[in-house]
Structure 1
Amino acid sequence: MNKRGFASDNFSGVLPEVMEAIQKVNYGHSMAYGGDPYTAAAIDKFKELFGHDIDVYFVFNGTGANVIGLSTLTQSWNSVICPSTAHIQVDECGAPDKLTGCKFIPIEVKDGKLTPELIKTQLHGFGFEHHSQPKVISITQCTELGTVYTPEEIKAICDLAHKHDMYVHMDGARLANAVASLDVDVREITNKAGVDVLSFGGTKNGMMLGEAVIFFNPELSKNAKYVRKQSMQLCSKMKYIACQFEALLTDDLWLKTARHANKMAKLLEREVRKIDTIQITQKVQSNGIWAIIPKDKIEKLQNEYFFWIWDEHKGEVRWLCSFDTTEDDINGFVALLKKELC
């Protein structure tokens, strides 16, 4: 499958700058397990972005990042509150449940976003030995439905969590798209808003592989290195992950790519809204569109431009744009939609 479709930003290739960075470090010998200068340089890039009072751990993938972040904050008798649509709830095969030992409490949401009012329904049983103890609220930015939390919304959730001696974990697999959408400093929706631990995504934004777990309070990360090792996420040749992040965070490349993906989604939205047989179901705030289309047309459309079905009962599908999506891709797909659906 070489033709660009709209299934996922995971389907895209690797940014040229990232590939060049990998090639540059691919010579000579370096200390393993993060003792190399490339890992140090990448951590410095993150400190430029978020401030110096942070702790950074590189891992292989997003599930690993989420597991390490959550495991470091919890004990097995704790519970984690999350949206019903969250990746940790739906798409990680129970890895967070198994490896943290925690109870996960999903809350039904319409737009992927938790609110203090929804969360408060689950804040009970504190100190009661028969009840799992709420410890973490996990939110996703951008959400699994492409929507975006504002800084004020995140701060309200963080304030509520900290009031109850709880922490906030953010799954930021597509954090770059949220920052680009809101046009704010990344700190405004992370550490300044009160987020305690962040899974910072790289793979969906042009890296070959790799994510980062960022602790905004180093006191919380005392055991993170042991959790990472036990979770089989400690990369021996860490320079190959780290150098990608250094490239991605240089000259705001991570934001340029996200802005482009968001722009392509807006272009697709504008054209799709002209087709009466398509119903867009969520606000288009990042790089994705969720839409209901005639079920009997889905397979034929997928054969030309592959995409995923989101809800097969409703005929709801998801179209995601990537750093390498072009206007020609959009125009070709829209022409196909018009041909089959109009």
Structure 2
Amino acid sequence: MRMFRNDYSEGAAPQILKALIDTNEEQCVGYTEGDPHCEHARELIREACQQPDAMVEFCLGGTSANVIGVTGMLRDWEGVICTKDGHINVHETGAIAATGRTVLPTQDTDGFLSPEEAEKVFRFQTSTGRHMTLPKVVYITDTTEIGGVWTRDRFDAIVDWAHGHGLKVFLDGARLASALTSPANDLTLPYIASRVEAFYLGGTKNGMLFGEAMVIMDDELRESFPFLQKERGGLMAKGRLLGVQFEAAFTPDAQTGEAPYWTLARGANDCALALRDGLVALGFEPYGCSDSNQQFFTVTPEQQEAFESASGCETFYALDDGRKVIRFVCSWATGRADVDELLALAKTLS
């Protein structure tokens, strides 16, 4: 059975891999600094974002992008607000804290950062003047840690709150392609780019071997990014490999007119939603509400063990009643036959 553990177990999507092979013997300058592939990829991304003046830079992976992007907008005494399950607070081994900066988590429980909970953190942190870390940046992810897709109303509410308090917004886009191709989505890439100070387009989790593309509108981050990227080990000597992948991902297909970046994500979403509908039809209980390529379900320990053994799904939470929350993830390489095989197994466990 194909594994449903994550969306980066496979190598690269065929069109990405072909681009790497076709350019393999080219000689380019290093560090993404002026090679034709990185420059073209930057142009394509600026066009897709409708931000002709945006700074576009390439990172190795999500943790590197988060650390450089967030800390590049913080001074020593400033911190970043996020949900308590936010990636920078849970799954990055204290990478933000290791730089001397502070993560300020809210008590939101659904993956979405709310103005109400952000306000509580802000008021507390500013209640005693210089004796506490001053909030400066708001960090959100689309999709959320449990697969949620931001709507425009929800997105505008937190961005409006942040800007109303003089804070900057950083959007972790490791799975932004999945979010923007979800049937639950009503945001557009240009709209996001017009409202936040910085965000990135995830490649690692959408058909590339590795890489994220940072889109920067903020002047402070424009200045700090090149130096922080080098200082923190995030600058790749063979930088053109990043440019080649994003160039291929954002070049529209000659037949469909759609860039592979969106086609690959839509395929993963379609499989994940078919899996969700099939599991619900068999009586399995969804955990949360995901309309993306990640699907979460509450199961018994016996079901968890069987699913994990067969499909590689991960266990995310243990509930107080003894049940487990497991996660299935579909990638660009997942097909409907793979979904059907997993549903056949699920039928024996329902």
TM-score category (smaller protein): over 0.9
Which residue matches 1:328?
337
CA distance in 1, matches of 2:301, 2:142: 29
Contact 2:151 2:186 in 1 (8 A): no
Structure-2-length-normalised TM-score: 0.92
- Distance in 2 between residues matched to 1:253 and 1:184, nearest whole Å: 19
Name the stretch that deviates more: 104-113 or 81-90: 104-113
Alpha-carbon distance between aligned partners in 2 of 1:256 and 1:45, rounded to the nearest angstrom: 16
Residues 104-143 of structure 1 mapped to structure 2, 5 A cutoff: 104-124=103-123, 125-126=125-126, 128-143=129-144
Number of the residue aligned with 1:279: 285
In structure 2, which of residues 256, 260, 267 is the aligned counterpart of residue 253 of structure 1?
260
For 1:43-100, what per-residue CA distance to the aligned partner results, in whole angstroms no more than 9, with x for missing partners?
A: 111111112120111111110000110111001211111011111111111112112x
Which of 303, 307, 320 is 2:313 aligned to?
307
Question: Counterparts of 1:184 and 1:137 in 2: how far apart (Å)?
Answer: 19
- SS of the residue corresponding to residue 199 of structure 1 reads strand
| Structure 1 residue 191 corresponds to structure 2 residue 224 | no
Report SS of the residue matched to 1:79. strand
1:109 positional shift: 2.3
1:116 CA displacement: 0.9
The alpha carbon displacement at 1:25 in A equals 2.1
Equivalent positions of 1:150-161 (< 5 A) are: 150-161=151-162
Measured against aligned partners, the alpha-carbon deviations of 1:209-268 in whole angstroms (never above 9, x if no partner) come to 111221123454112100111111111110001110011111121111111111111111
Where 2:233 maps in the other structure, the secondary structure is coil
In structure 2, distance between residues paired with 1:256 and 1:246: 15
Note the C-alpha offset of 1:184: 4.4
Detail structure 1 runs of 4+ shifted over 6 Å in the superposition: none
8 A contact 1:268–1:334 mirrored in 2: yes
> For 2:331, what is the secondary structure of its paired residue?
coil
SS at 2:333's partner residue? coil
Matched residues in 2 for 1:183 and 1:24: separation?
37
2:300 to 294, 314, 319: 294
Q: Say whether the 8 Å CA contact 1:25–1:240 is kept in structure 2.
A: no
Question: Which residue is equivalent to 1:30?
Answer: 28
Equivalent residue letter for 1:288: Q
Which residue pairs with 2:17 in the alignment? 19
Distance 2:220 2:306 in 1: 53
d(CA) in 1 for partners of 2:30 and 2:58?
A: 13
Q: Flag structure 1 segments of 5+ consecutive residues without an equivalent.
A: none
1:237 is matched with which residue?
238
Unaligned runs of 5+ in 2: 253-258
Indicate if the aligned counterparts of 2:108 and 2:114 stay in contact, CA closer than 8 A.
no
Q: Which residue of 2 aligns with 1:223?
A: 224
Q: Cα deviations across residues 253-308 of structure 1 (Å, max 9, x unaligned)?
A: 111111111111111111101222x2111112111111111112322222221110
* Equivalent of 1:337 in 323, 326, 346: 346
Structure 1 stretch displaced more, 241-250 or 30-39: 30-39
SS at structure 2 position matched to 1:232: coil
1:83 maps to what in 2? 83
- The alignment-based identity, stated in percent, is 32
- Counterpart Cα distance in 2 of 1:247 and 1:89: 33
* Whole-angstrom CA distance in 2 between matches of 1:286 and 1:205: 13
For the 8 Å contact 2:84–2:109, the answer to whether it is kept is no
Aligned residues: 335
Match of 2:273 among 262, 266, 269: 266
What does residue 181 of structure 2 align with? Answer: 180
Counterparts of 2:36 and 2:279, CA distance in 1: 48
TM-score by length of 1: 0.94
Partner amino acid for 1:293?
A: V
Q: 3-state DSSP class of the match of 1:214?
A: strand
Distance across 1 between alignment mates of 2:187 and 2:162: 23
Residue identity matched to 2:270:
K
- What is the Cα deviation at residue 135 of structure 1? 0.4
Q: Find the aligned partners of 1:183 and 1:263 in 2 and give their Cα distance.
A: 17
The CA RMSD measured in Å over matched residues stands at 1.5
Looking at structure 2, the residues matched to 143 and 11 of structure 1 have their Cα atoms a distance apart, in angstroms, of 20
Q: Which residue of 2 aligns with 1:61?
A: 61
CA contact (8 A) 2:143 2:175 kept: yes
